[in-house]
Chains A and B, each alone.
Chain A
Amino acid sequence: MSARRPTPLLALFLRDMQLAWAGGGGPLLAGAFYLGVAALVPLSAGASPERLAAVAPGLAWLVLALASLLSLERLFEPDWEDGALDLLAQGRAPLAAVAAVKAAAHWCATGAPLALLAPAAAVALGAPVRIAGPMLAAALLGGLAFAYLGAIGAALSLGARRGGLLIAVLVLPLLVPPVIFGAAAVEAAAHGGPWLPSLALLAAYALLAVAAAPFAAGAGLRNALG
């Protein structure tokens, strides 16, 4: 039985996963950043348990959005610098599909591990343990939206000066709805209220991002290649 070669897009997905974890591991770095900022919260907002418990779910969620932003800069840039993106552009798969696959790999490699950290950080800051489930679901879905919307910013700012800061400025307005819906779901769970409606809205926004953002990111990649 001959070994079957994976389809190009699957190969791209596997390659991106391997690259993400190889050599120091970007995901570990993002996770360390997450924990570092979470550790600053009690130091800056005051360590009294009741005050921390009030802001814990919201802050855990905010730090998640920031940590996902930070890792976006290297989403397309290495491939753009070393010419791999030119090769991908010559392949049969459209650049929108390339962008979709790379964003998916980014979510699996960086977004999902960060999502696992989110409930732990929220509980450590003093949120009730019953928010862990909703928080994990919201962080997974929110991370999906962050990865795909972030791909737009990462693609558009290729070749621009001050890339990293620019991505944040471009993407943050688009991240407002998932932050609102996710925080509402976690907040409702913390008070024992119904959290599914907000989570459903978050899922809807994430799915819209997955469906639409690759086309914008693909156009951005095409533009950067000239």
Chain B
Amino acid sequence: MLTGLANPARFMAVSRPLVPVLAAAAVLLLAVGTWLSFTAPPDYQQGNSVRMMFVHVPAAYMGLFAYACMGGASFAGLVWRHALADAAAKAAAPLGAGFTFLALVTGCLWGKPMWGAWWVWDARLTSVLVLFLLYLGYLALHAAVEDETRAARASAVLALAGLINLPVVKFSVDWWNTLHQPASLLRADGPSVAPQILTPLLVMSLAYTCLFGALWLLRTRAEVWRRRARSVRRAPAMRATLAPEAA
């Protein structure tokens, strides 16, 4: 199915109706999730600060998810030379950087009342900061190389090299003794969160996923349009170079 979608024309046809559907789902779920977030009972220890979790956890999860998408697209772009995969990887990077930044900022705001510090250098926080720096490096490299195909391939190699950080972020709370709490959702023995808190969290996570999906498709489509516009703009010059006597 994915190989079929590598055809840009088919991708454009399939993704066109998907964008408004995903965007509508994101808006609806965000509205429901926000309402649930504020009606959930306050935590017995954290009080109302627990509501920060409904923004923080999905943002952190999307930061990782977007990097995985970017890495997968980079791999496809490097191995099969699909131009569409390059466009998808490029489109995912700023979104992932944005979500990671949101996770870092909300983490700081949450850490101050709970831990008494905006920032601590524990393994989870440091590895997420490294994730953010990897996004910045990817964006900087993509912007600094003039030729688009070369820029895409160079940044794809960088994205793959940075993939090693993803398991480090996920398991940092298990491998090291951190101030950041250990995993409470994706556990072998099931989530350890009370259902009143778990429901808004899951709704918000789904909302963020739909939002990312809609924006990712939109940005990939925009990138395809931009390339088409560029080749149309260059077509007369190309014709003139290829057949000077006809001009």
Instruction: Give A residues with C-beta under 8 Å from B.
Output: 152, 156-157, 159-162, 166, 169-170, 172-174, 176-177, 180, 213, 216, 219-220, 223-224, 226
Contacts and interface: CB of A to CB of B under 8 A. Distances in A.
B140 interface: yes
A185 to B, nearest CB: 16
B162 A173 contact: yes
Contacts of A170: 137, 140-141, 158
27 contacts: A152-B161, A156-B154, A156-B157, A156-B158, A157-B144, A157-B154, A160-B141, A160-B144, A161-B144, A161-B146, A166-B140, A166-B141, A166-B144, A170-B158, A172-B137, A173-B133, A173-B134, A173-B137, A176-B130, A177-B168, A180-B126, A213-B161, A216-B161, A220-B157, A223-B150, A223-B153, A224-B154
B161 A174 contact: yes
A48 B134 CA distance: 37
A159 B145 contact: yes
A220 B153 CA distance: 8
B160 A216 contact: yes
B136 A169 contact: yes
Main secondary structure of the interface of A (DSSP, over half): helix
Contacts of A226: 147, 150
Contacts of B165: 173
Contacts of A216: 157-158, 160-161
Contact of B145 (A160, A172, A219): A160
Given A162-B144, A176-B126, A223 B154 contact: yes
Contacts of A180: 126
Contacts of B147: 226
Nearest to B140: A169
Contacts of B136: 169
A226 B161 CA distance: 21
A97 to B, nearest CB: 17
Contacts of A160: 141, 144-146, 154
10 interchain residue pairs of minimum CB distance = A160-B144, A173-B133, A170-B137, A156-B154, A223-B153, A173-B130, A160-B145, A219-B157, A173-B134, A169-B137
Contacts of A156: 141, 154-155, 157-158
Contacts of A157: 141, 144, 154
Given A160-B154, A216-B161, 9 more contacts: A156-B154, A160-B145, A160-B146, A170-B158, A172-B133, A216-B157, A216-B158, A219-B78, A219-B153
Tell which of B137, B140, B160, B162 has the most Cβ of chain A within 10 Å. Answer: B137
Interface in B111-169: 126, 130, 133-134, 136-137, 140-141, 144-147, 150, 153-155, 157-158, 160-162, 165, 168
A195 to B, nearest CB: 18
Given A173-B133, A176-B126, A176-B130, A152 B141 contact: no
A6 to B, nearest CB: 30
Contacts of B134: 173
Contacts of A169: 133, 136-137, 140
Given A170-B137, A173-B137, A152 B130 contact: no
B75 to A, nearest CB: 12
Nearest to B152: A223
A170 B147 CA distance: 19
B158 A152 contact: yes
A152 B140 contact: no
A177 B157 CA distance: 20
Nearest to B133: A173
B148 to A, nearest CB: 12
